[in-house]
Each structure stands twice: as structure tokens, then as C-alpha cells.
Chains A and B, each alone.
Chain A
Amino acid sequence: MPLIRSSAAELANLMATGEASSVEITRASLDRIAEVDGEVHAFLHVDAEGALAQAAEVDRRRAAGEELHALAGVPIAVKDVVVTRGLPTTAGSRILEGWVPPYDATLVTRLREAGLPILGKTNMDEFAMGSSTEHSAYGPTRNPWDLGRIPGGSGGGSAACLAAYEAPLAIGTDTGGSIRQPASVTGTVGAKPTYGGVSRYGLIAMASSLDQAGPCTRTVLDAALLHSLIGGHDRMDSTSLDAPVPPVVEAANRADVSGMRIGIVKELTGEGFQPGVQKRFEEAVQHLVDAGAEIVQVSCPSFRYALAAYYLVMPSEVSSNLAKFDAMRYGLRVLPEGIDDPSAEQVMAATRDAGFGDEVKRRIILGTYALSSGYYDAYYGSAQKVRTLIADDFARAFEVADVLVSPTSPTTAFPFGDKMSDPLSMYMQDIATIPANLAGVPGLSLPSGLADEDGLPAGFQILAPAMKDERMYAVGSALEKRLHAAWGGPLLARVPSLVKEA
């Protein structure tokens, strides 16, 4: 099998046995990027030189007999919302064009220390606001399954680079589904850890109380390996959990669901879900039953308020988090036209007008309104109460079920432009993923197959109680094993090659 099609775990083995070097593997990824990224546009910035230098360094350390991390030498792509010292970081926005951070996010430090060559920065909806990458200031990423369709969002770049075999691993961030929904529509795997499980230090904040970084991969085991590497306490992030990373790798390796109670959430199935997506979901559930799991039906009635609560809490935090982009210290600076001697406030206004896209402005305005005095209690206050109710629903559901499952996204990838004029239908993409962010519980998406009506990937979501992330890896890994057996290999084996045959 060519290097680019191997999983991270397989690549790690090849390096351990001396069958491949990190430089060879990294170069293969870079060659693939050069070959297909003109069409896919998963990357905003590629750092071939830096990646190869890191690869060579790991090869040298390995040759010297040093003890290395399991993923040492496996190249990785990083979503552009994560700051990287010396590498441009834009969060998909014009307002940060040209900004080169002077520091690394904590998770990037961990990647560098473990010796993972960083291939580059992946495309995304501006400031992670969107479900299609169509809101990127630098143009959309295309879905390798069908270049006329969206790769999901906001982390469409991180998902698409996996599906296009440009990288074996990627970092994503998930505020309302930005890891899981792209995984779902590209036939890849993505996990959002428990809130606080991975440091947020160095993630350009969208909504602080919801943001969470996590692994984007092609297999459940790879996700567990990467989760394990980037997870764990960070004293630079007060909200980071001061607890060991859950035993996710062990759980993925054991892949044991016998006796587990799998809860099907009534509110997250059926109506509103594409029939082909729903069908693959039901088959996947049957696979879990075959593997020894028990199915229970649960109801989470407050979930129907989740989207509304999310679109109050998130924009409120956005309106404050994005205030710092004001042209005074870094990034874009636009001088207002027709004013000879503009004040700082006029420069701020002109820059924010020119530098932010429509969706970002929409959310800033929504959030500013929701936090206004006189409206705060009705909007932000009520939304926080809904969060509590949703957490209560989860708590009750987890009394009778060890994990909850649902389709990840209600549809497969939709064509470009389909939902751009209708923000609400775009927001509906995250209907099944948002409750986990509001409650801080972990969620994982893996492919459940191709929908009959369009032949495009559908996703299966597993939700676990907070700090019990290992459960979703156990279930995901068991399901993946059975599905691969049923399909005769991974789903991604069927993705178009993207290379025009001569």
C-alpha cells in the first residue's frame, strides 16, 4: 500500500521497523499535496521546509536510538485557528492576513515535542463560523468525494486533507460540530474530547465555553493516539481538566462493546434526517448489537432548544472574543476612505468592516444584542439555563446508557451555494452535534457508509459522559472493525483518486 494511504498507526510501525523514514513519509504527503491540493484547497499554508526538517530530526533521533513517541515522525496538518509560531495563522479571516504568531498553542508544542512534522495549516470557515468552509476568506475547500460539494465545516480543510490522502492526521476544533460534521461528510473520523480535555491555549477563541480541540483522522485508533498526545492538563488554560487523559488508546485497541448499553436519542433521529443517512445509522446500530451491545431508547427533551441556546451563547462570546481584532496591534489595518486624519476608533471600524466576513459580522451583531443590558436575562441568561437543562438530560440518559448514538450530520455533503442564502438551514447541520458542546461531553464521528440516494459518506456519532472519552473509542473501534469487514476495507478506499489518468 502506498505510504499516503496508510493510517498513522501503520506509518508508526513502518518507521519502527525501519521500512520507511519520516522524511519519506513526509515527502509523500507533501508530493500528494502538490498534486491534488490545487483542486481540493484543504491548505491555506504549506510548510514543506519546516516539515521535512522536523522529519529529518526525528529520523536522526530514531537512528540514535532515542525513545520516541508512538506518533513521532507521522506528519500532521493543523487547522488554521490554532496558533503556530513562525507559521502564518489566519483563522480563515482577512483580518489576520499576514499575521505570524510569536508563540505556539500548547497542543502544537506537544506535537512538536513528540516529533510530528507539521505539514501546514488547513482551511476553515472564518473564525470557525460555518458548516461548509464557504465562509473562508480564502475560498472554500472541496470535498474529495465530489469536488462540487462542501467538505463540511468549519474544519473542512482538516477533514478533506485526510480524505484526499494529503495527510494522515489533522487537528480540528469543535465548537458546535466543527470536527464531527466535516468527518461525517468526508468519510473520516473526528473526535471532540470532553470540554477541558485538550488545552485551549493558543486556539483563536470563537466561543470559549464551547471550543474544544481534537483529533481528525482516518481511523478510530489514530484518533485515540492523537487524542492521547494532545490531551491532558495545561496550567496555561484555567478551564483545562486537572486529570489524566482517559485510557482512549487502550479502549480503541480493545474495541469491546459486549454488555455495553447503547442509548438511541429519540430527538436525534428520524425526522429531518436524510433517509440514506438514517438507514446507515440503523445498520450500524445493528452491528453493535451483533457485537454484544444492548440497545436502549432515551429521550432528551431539552435538546430541541439546543440550537436556539447555542445561537445565543456562542454569538455572545464571539462578540467579546473578536473585539481584539481592531488593527491596533497586529493583522489587517484599513484606513477609512475620505477621512484625512482618522481617529483610532475610525480605523478600528474601517478595519473590522473590511476584515470580517458577513457570517462573522452577523454573529457579532447577534451577540452584542444578546448581551445588551435589558436583554441579557432574556437571552444570554435563558440560554445558560437551557444549557443546564441539556446537561440534566444527558445526566439522566447516561444513567440508563453507557453511550448515546445518533447520525452525526442530518445530511450528506451538499453542493456549494446550497445553503449560503439560508443561514438557518446551514445551522441545522449541527443539530445533532451541538448538545455535546453545550454540556461539555465528548463526541466522536466515524463513517457509517455511503447514503443510497447520493453515494456520499454518512456519519455515526457516539456521545459519552464527561471524562469517559474512552467509551466512545471502544464503541467506535468495535463498529469500525465490523464495518470494514462488511465493506471489505475502509470506506475511504472508495474515494475518487483525484488524479487525472493520463
Chain B
Amino acid sequence: MSTSTTDALMGYDEVIERFDPVMGLEVHVELGTATKMFCGCATTFGAEPNTQVCPVCLGLPGALPVVNAVGVESAIRIGLALNCQIAEWCRFARKNYFYPDMPKNFQTSQYDEPIAFNGFLDVELSDGSTYRVEIERAHMEEDTGKSLHVGGATGRIHGATHSLVDYNRAGIPLIEIVTKPMVGAGERAPEIARAYVATLRDLLKGLGVSDVKMEQGSMRCDVNLSLMAKGAEAFGTRSETKNVNSLRSVERAVRYEMCRHGALLAAGEKVVQETRHWHEDTGMTTAGREKSDAEDYRYFPEPDLVPVAPSREWVEELRAALPEPPAQRRKRLQTAYGFSDLEMRDVLNAGLLDLIEETVAAGGSPAAARKWWSGEIARRASAQGQDVPTYAAGLGLSPAAVVELEGMVTSGRLNDAMARQAWEGVLDGEGTPTQVADARGLQLNQDTGALEAAVDEVIAANPDVADKIRDGKVQAVGALIGQVMKAMKGQGDAAAARALILERLGQPS
């Protein structure tokens, strides 16, 4: 086993000049089913080790698996969302190999009869173009337990004095989604890899089949990569980089392996067919297990389970009930709401699209919805380490609150500053926007006489500014508005003040 950490790397531009990358991605997704794939044990993340286990998922002698129907349904929905064909009849198969975190020393998986096959997923790239990733298959399997290596410096098996195994994860349903080899991606290969995983993550989230948390391991990506010299027909030898667990890492791992392969090939060396470990901290891969095509898992049909034969009626029912694909929905809503690309990106990054959609449905305007669900609430949520939807749900805040707040502004009861105060009160748990406004005495001063007096006073006190405005420098009006508001102790109507100042100075408002 090589422990080299000083791989020679070729410059990326040179790699692109001399080679074509061939890339394949295998993504494992833990399904969010309440129970495991083949037994009734709970799947809660982070439970005490070995508390969510039973004779079946511990592989005790005599125990037998029973297929989780929800797991099969999720697999079919994923297959349909990936534009796959759904098998009319398929079987589970045993993948035989010895490892302490695998209770039966075989993994119940699928081999040559996957539940879904021959699909595709279109991914959008930063230049606005679309790349079609061909899907080879999506199949069902069970997760393994988790080994914890104790006594070593790094938590890795090397140097550890002993290992502990937690079987809570053993038997959790997994869907493995395998792409066909992507040829012709060229210099965009790292970006495509990232965009594919991101698109897949959104798709799965939209289906509600998984929480797709890469940092918790509920979505894991293996990157297969090889290079072939420009113009070559045959694929080169590939490496398989395991467990690349963030979008950024997917992109970096592809790039790193391209540069590493490039340097090896240029030096006339051979790429070793092996699994490689990805190191988030250093951004490098290191050699793992050497892997040959001769590695033999002795697959055979699982005799303890009956074949899965989803009826065509059921498959069509599931297809009809699929949610709108996320990319399509995003485009539709962006157009409908009139958000700029930048605004839309912020909304998506903050995970606000659902909240905004609900707020609009409740009668709010898209702009107000975006405004109130961003800003102060986002600051508070992030201080709690939460996203806005989670934080809002924790406060029991509904879209109706935003609609109510917006209504108080449009009706002229509150100005913007007051609305912000009212919203803060709502976030402090003081009640609805109306209750907060009542309690805090927030109410625009509708006395036009007082406003006129304040405006005239401020114009008189600032002759220089007034002259600028008379000369057409309308943007200077802000300074005067601020003083008017101050004079009215914050209860003035800023819009009315602006209109009045401009009128007094002979400018169109």
C-alpha cells in the first residue's frame, strides 16, 4: 500500500491540452425511510451505538430479511425522476466479501437486475448551457455498519489498537445511482461533476426520499476518473476516489485526479487501478485498496427474498404523482416573481423558495416575501446554526405573518422602519405584527400639517441642499427626508415626505 502524499501533478491547462477525461460518478443515497431496508429497526441518525439493531440487521444466525415496501417505492420514484426505465421484475443479489462492519459478510444489493436503468439527468452549467448526464442504473441495497478505529492518531485503521463497530447504520436503505462514463466533458469535467451532484441532491430533496446531507453521509459520492490521450479510442486505467462528501470536494477531487493521472501518463508511468481516499483538508487523494477487475464478489440472486415485480399501474401512479423537477420549478418561479439571477441565487442558497412560494400563495408579494424572509430573520437563524425555514418553524412563524406585515405597510399604517421594528418584535416572540405594532405604539403620523411644517423647517435649515435639488440633483433628497423623519420622531411617512419636498422645490416626484 502506498502512503505517498506527494503526487506529481500536471498543470490543469496542460492536462486539457493533451488528454480527454472520462468520468463516472457513483452516488449512494440513504433513504429517509422510518425503518431499515430489511427489518423494522429505526433509522434515526446519531442514536447511541448499537441501539437500533435486531437479529436481522445484526445478521444473527437464522434471521431473514423482509423488503421495506417504502424503500422500493422510493427507489422507483428516484428511477422515474431520473428518466429511467423501471424493471418489471428484478431480484436482490448477495455481494459477498468479508468485512467486520458487515454483519452477514455479504451485502444484500442488486447486481444484473437493477430496479431502474437507462435514464438521464440534465444539469445546468454556469455558462447557462445544459449537459446531459446519462444514468446507467439505480439500484437498491443496504448500508453497512460503521467502524470506529481507536488508538491511532487519525481515526484511520492504520495505527489503531482496536476498532469498535456501530451497527445502527447496518441495513439502512441505500440507492446507488451510477452514471454511464461521461466522455467529452473536457475542461468542464470538474464543474459537470459538481453540477451533477448538486442537481441530483436537489432532485432527491424535492422527491422527499432523503435528507441528502452530504456532511452526515446520507449522500456520498465516489468519483471514477481516467484520462485518454487526445484522439484515443480506448479508456485509460481509472481510479476510484471514495466518499467525496461535499460539492466543492467533488469538483476538487475530479480536478486533482485529472492532474495526477496527467503527470503519471506524461512520465510514462502506469495509473494503478485502485480506490483512493479523498482528504478534505489537503485537497489530495491517497492510495487505498488496489482493485482489479478480477475482484470477485461472487454475486448470486438472494435466495431469502422473493423478486420485486412492481405492477405497471403502480409505476404509472408514482410517475403521475412526481413533483415538478426542481430546475423547472425554479425557472418558473423566478420568471413569475421577477427575481434577478442574483436575487434568485441568494433565495436558493438560503433555502427560501418554499417559504416565498407559500407566502405568495397566502397573498403576499414576491418582493415583500423575499425581503422579510431574508435580513433580520436570516441573521438570527444563522446565529442559531439553523436555516431560515427551520428557524421559522421553531418560532411557529407562518407566511401569514409576512402577509400581515406587508399589508400594514401598504395600508399606510407603518413605514419601513416601523415595519422592521414590528418584525423584530414578532421574532422576539411578542405576537403577531399587529399585536407588536399596537403594543409598541407603532403608527405613522398622518397629520399632514405636522409633515408640512417639518418639511418647510428642514428646507429652510438646509439652503445649500435645497438649491442642489432645485438644480435637478434629486438624489440629494435623501438627506432631507432623514431630517424630516428625525423631526417627526420616526413616525412620519417617508414616501409622503419625499413627495412633499420635491413638490416644494419644484421637482417632479
A interface residue numbers (CB < 8 A to B): 82-83, 89, 91, 96, 99, 101-103, 105, 200-205, 207-209, 235-239, 316-317, 319-320, 323-326, 328-330, 344-345, 348, 368, 371-373, 376, 380
> With A and B bound together, what is the CA distance between A205 and B56 in angstroms?
13
Cβ of A319: which chain B residues have Cβ within 8 Å of it? 96, 298
Cβ–Cβ contact A324 & B303, under 8 A: no
Cβ–Cβ contact B66 & A320, under 8 A: no
9 A–B pairs (Cβ distance < 8 Å), ordered by A = A204-B61, A204-B62, A205-B61, A208-B304, A238-B64, A238-B306, A325-B61, A329-B59, A373-B298
If A238-B306, A239-B306, A324-B104 touch, whether A91 touches B61 (CB-CB below 8 Å) is: yes
Q: Is the interface of B mostly helix, strand, loop or mixed?
A: loop
> With A and B bound together, what is the CA distance between A348 and B306 in angstroms?
31
B388 at the interface (CB under 8 A from A): no
CB closest chain-B residue, reference A93 = B61
Among B61, B66, B294, B304, max chain A CB count under 10 A is at B61
Partner of B103, one of A200, A238, A316, A324: A324
Cβ of A91: which chain B residues have Cβ within 8 Å of it? 61
Partner of B61, one of A101, A207, A316, A348: A101
Cβ of A105: which chain B residues have Cβ within 8 Å of it? 62
B165 at the interface (CB under 8 A from A): yes
Partner of A326, one of B105, B304, B305: B105
Q: Is the interface of A mostly helix, strand, loop or mixed?
A: loop
Cβ–Cβ contact B60 & A103, under 8 A: yes
Cβ of A239: which chain B residues have Cβ within 8 Å of it? 303-306
CB closest chain-B residue, reference A82 = B62
Cβ of A344: which chain B residues have Cβ within 8 Å of it? 100, 163
Cβ of A103: which chain B residues have Cβ within 8 Å of it? 55, 60, 62-63
**How far, in Å, is B307 (CB) from chain A's closest CB?**
10
Question: Can you add 16 more A-B contacts, CB < 8 Å, to A91-B61, A320-B94, A345-B98?
Answer: A83-B61, A89-B61, A103-B55, A103-B60, A235-B66, A317-B300, A319-B96, A320-B106, A324-B61, A324-B105, A325-B61, A326-B100, A348-B98, A371-B298, A376-B298, A380-B300
Q: Which of B343-372 contact A (CB under 8 A)?
A: none
Cβ of A203: which chain B residues have Cβ within 8 Å of it? 62
Q: What 1/0 flags go to B473-507 for Cβ under 8 Å of A?
A: 00000000000000000000000000000000000
B269 at the interface (CB under 8 A from A): no
If A209-B303, A236-B66, A317-B303 touch, whether A330 touches B60 (CB-CB below 8 Å) is: yes
B58 at the interface (CB under 8 A from A): yes
Cβ–Cβ contact A202 & B163, under 8 A: no
**How far, in Å, is A363 (CB) from chain B's closest CB?**
14
CB closest chain-B residue, reference A83 = B62
B296 at the interface (CB under 8 A from A): yes
Partner of B165, one of A320, A328, A371, A372: A328
Q: Which of B39-67 contact A (CB under 8 A)?
A: 55, 58-67
**How far, in Å, is B151 (CB) from chain A's closest CB?**
11
Cβ of A345: which chain B residues have Cβ within 8 Å of it? 98
CB closest chain-A residue, reference B147 = A344
Q: Which of B65-111 contact A (CB under 8 A)?
A: 65-67, 94, 96, 98, 100, 103-106
CB closest chain-A residue, reference B167 = A329
Partner of B96, one of A202, A348, A371: A371
**How far, in Å, is A361 (CB) from chain B's closest CB?**
16
**How far, in Å, is A384 (CB) from chain B's closest CB?**
9
Cβ–Cβ contact A201 & B62, under 8 A: yes
> With A and B bound together, what is the CA distance between A380 and B58 in angstroms?
28
> With A and B bound together, what is the CA distance between A342 and B58 in angstroms?
24
Cβ of B303: which chain A residues have Cβ within 8 Å of it? 207-209, 239, 317
Cβ–Cβ contact A238 & B66, under 8 A: yes
Cβ–Cβ contact B61 & A329, under 8 A: no
Among B58, B62, B165, max chain A CB count under 10 A is at B62
Cβ–Cβ contact A376 & B300, under 8 A: yes
Cβ–Cβ contact A238 & B65, under 8 A: yes
CB closest chain-A residue, reference B40 = A236
